[in-house]
């Protein structure tokens, strides 16, 4: 695979970002184009290892090893190295329906499990995947493929996020008639409204949905099952339902002043910001950030997206407050290869803030105690430093303990809470009397069946497994589609 000695001859070179002061003035994608020669050289570094862990799709004690989709990565790399992009795309399409999404927003679990990465920088698998799909779209080769059979079965997929789209795509290819119900005005779920345009251009989402429509998938937009479209009607008109509604209940900031004007959850902020970009008009509830001081509470990708979006909306300053300790710069002894390590990642938003404001916006082991206001709107936040200590009463679990004398008041005008998600909304769970686990996620009768306790109702994605990654949601959607199809075939 690749060039036999490629990994000895060539160094890893990541995709370059456009200059900060250029990219923050628009909402375009920030990754700079790369010449084909650079990608073929990077693909040549794939070292023909005896046991390629990059596509292992294992989970060990909750930690990932390799690509959840089991992409045929060594074969794809070899074909890119040899210049056969169409065959590389054919290999990629065998396991992956939407590489244009993960090639932009996936944290690249595969690269953490690359055998070369055990002792050298890993192969740039994510960059190569993005190159393959982008080049094929440029050539006009990403086209509809009509299903060859029809089963006569009608299936409703509720939700058009990554798991819903993947489920609908797989069911349609198996010959089932699929209708996707989406409560928003546009399809895509978090791909459309939860991820900023500069990270994932919305034309890519709409383009993929357009292909799916041409292949026969129906989309009902602005249709919330359980309110606009009664559950009983769905159950009557379809042979099965697959719930792919995500885990959209955001963790709230439960401190005094959290109800002040200027406090907003990350999902609300990102959704309204994207709607404003797409519609080109003022969106109710979208705060004016121009010239304002912004505090983002929480880390992770969503926090980064809030930082970058605030910068593009003209923020005068952005601070990012993270309660967790600062991660190490490299693998710890307890996270050996090929596990996906928890290491510090300085992403595009932090890079932009550092250049524009002179310092990394992140402050670790810091939490908000109170949001200060003038009785109506935010004027500042009161923070305190914490230290993580083992709690004997919680079985030795590490918990944050406030450090006396570290309280501090910081002036700010906008507070964005990016503290993660707790689970799915209850509307359909209650209406369908679905069983749930301790996290409130929909529990399957068996972990591999994707069936719920209600006959003909299946669940997939974050709604079933809890908040996770786009790539895992796609995998869940495809597996649920297979389970639903096989169940109906046996009836």
**CATH code, domain with 337:** 3.50.50.60
**Which of 138, 164, 197 is a domain's end point?**
138
Give the tens place of pLDDT for each residue, 122-163: 999 999 999 999 999 999 999 999 999 999 999 999 999 999
How sure is the predictor about 446, in pLDDT bands with cuts at 50, 70 and 90?
A: low
Q: Is residue 143 in a domain? A: no
Task: Tell whether 404 and 272 lie within a shared domain.
Answer: yes
Give the mean model confidence (pLDDT) for residues 267-287: 93
Q: Are strands 58-60 and 397-402 parallel, antiparallel or unpaired?
A: unpaired
Do 130 and 53 fall into the same domain? Answer: yes
Q: Is residue 1 part of a domain?
A: no
Give the CATH number for residue 31: 1.10.1060.10
Instruction: Give 22-72 pLDDT, tens digit per residue.
Output: 999 999 999 998 999 999 999 999 988 889 999 999 888 778 899 999 999
Residues 296 and 399 in one domain: yes
Is 80 exceeded by the pLDDT of residue 447?
no
* CA-based nearest residue to 409, from 378, 371, 453, 365: 371
Q: Are 244 and 327 part of one and the same domain?
A: no
| pLDDT for the residue 460 | 97
Nearest 5 degrees, angle CA 307-CA 102-CA 56? 125
What integer is the mean pLDDT of 221-230?
A: 96
395 and 348 together in one domain? yes
Answer yes or no: are the C-beta atoms of 423 and 250 closer than 8 Å. no
Percent of the chain with pLDDT over 90: 90
Query: Would strands 408-411 and 378-391 be described as parallel, antiparallel, or unpaired?
Result: antiparallel
Q: What is the pLDDT of residues 338-377, one digit of tens each?
A: 999 999 999 999 999 999 999 999 999 999 999 999 999 9
Q: What is the pLDDT of residue 3?
A: 86
Q: Do residue 357 and residue 467 come from a single domain?
A: no
Vertex 110: Cα angle to 105 and 114 (nearest 5): 140
| 84-133 tens-digit pLDDT | 999 999 999 999 999 999 999 999 999 999 999 999 999 999 999 999 99
Q: What is the pLDDT of residues 233-276, one digit of tens each?
A: 999 999 999 999 999 999 999 999 999 999 999 999 999 999 99
Of 243, 244, 242, 240, nearest in space to 490 by CA? 240
Q: What is the mean pLDDT of the chain?
A: 95
* Residue 445, pLDDT above cutoff 70: no
Single residue among 110, 138, 166 that ends a domain in this structure: 138
Assess whether 286 and 303 both reside in one domain.
yes
Does the pLDDT value for residue 1 go beyond 70? no
Examine the domain organization and report whether 15 and 101 are in the same domain.
yes
Q: Report the pLDDT averaged over residues 200-228.
A: 97
Q: Are 320 and 303 in contact (CB under 8 A)?
A: yes
Instruction: Give the pLDDT of residue 48.
Output: 80
User: Within this chain, do residues 435 and 353 fall inside the same structural domain, yes or no?
Assistant: no
Domain total in the chain: 3
**Residue-number span of the structural domain to which 80 is assigned:** 6-138
């Amino acid at each position: 695979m690749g060039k036999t000695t490629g990994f000895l001859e060539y160094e890893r070179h990541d995709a370059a970002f456009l200059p900060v002061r250029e990219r923050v003035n628009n909402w375009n994608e920030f990754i700079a184009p790369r010449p084909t020669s650079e990608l073929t050289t990077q693909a040549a570094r794939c070292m023909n290892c005896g046991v390629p862990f990059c596509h292992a799709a294992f989970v060990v004690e909750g930690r990932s090893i390799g690509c959840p989709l089991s992409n045929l990565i060594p074969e794809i790399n070899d074909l890119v190295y040899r210049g056969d992009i169409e065959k590389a795309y054919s290999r990629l399409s065998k396991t992956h329906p939407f590489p244009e999404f993960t090639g932009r927003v996936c944290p690249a679990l595969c690269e953490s499990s690359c055998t070369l990465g055990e002792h050298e920088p890993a192969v740039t698998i994510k960059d190569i995947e993005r190159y393959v799909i982008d080049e094929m779209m440029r050539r006009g080769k990403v086209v509809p493929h009509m299903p060859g059979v029809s089963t006569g079965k009608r299936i409703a997929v509720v939700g058009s996020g990554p798991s819903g789209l993947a489920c609908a795509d797989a069911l349609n290819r198996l010959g089932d008639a699929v209708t996707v119900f989406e409560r928003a005005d546009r399809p895509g779920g978090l791909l459309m409204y939860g991820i900023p345009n500069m990270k994932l251009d919305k034309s890519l989402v709409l383009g993929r949905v357009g292909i799916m429509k041409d292949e026969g998938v129906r989309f009902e937009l602005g249709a919330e099952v359980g309110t606009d479209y009664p559950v009983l009607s769905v159950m009557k008109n379809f042979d099965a339902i697959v719930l792919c509604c995500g885990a959209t209940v955001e963790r709230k900031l439960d401190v005094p002043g959290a109800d002040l004007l200027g406090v907003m959850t990350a999902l609300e902020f990102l959704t309204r910001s994207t709607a404003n970009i797409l519609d080109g008009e003022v969106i109710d509830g979208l705060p004016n950030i121009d010239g304002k001081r912004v505090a983002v509470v929480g880390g992770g990708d969503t926090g980064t997206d809030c930082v970058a979006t605030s910068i593009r909306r003209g923020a005068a300053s952005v601070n990012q407050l993270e309660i967790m300790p600062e991660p190490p710069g490299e693998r710890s002894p307890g996270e050996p290869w090929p596990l996906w390590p928890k290491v510090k990642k300085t992403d595009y938003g932090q890079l932009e803030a550092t250049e524009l404001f002179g310092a990394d916006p992140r402050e670790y082991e810091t939490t908000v105690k109170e949001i200060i206001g003038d009785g109506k709107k935010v004027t500042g936040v009161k923070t305190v430093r914490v230290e993580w200590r083992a709690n004997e009463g919680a079985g030795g679990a590490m918990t944050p303990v406030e450090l006396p004398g570290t309280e501090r008041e910081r002036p700010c005008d906008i507070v964005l809470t990016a503290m993660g998600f707790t689970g799915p909304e209850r509307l359909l769970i209650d209406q369908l009397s679905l069983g749930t686990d301790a996290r409130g996620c929909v529990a399957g009768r068996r972990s591999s069946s994707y069936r719920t306790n209600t006959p003909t109702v299946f669940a997939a994605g974050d709604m079933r497994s809890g908040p996770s990654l786009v790539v895992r949601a796609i995998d869940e959607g495809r597996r649920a589609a297979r389970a639903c199809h096989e169940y109906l075939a046996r009836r």
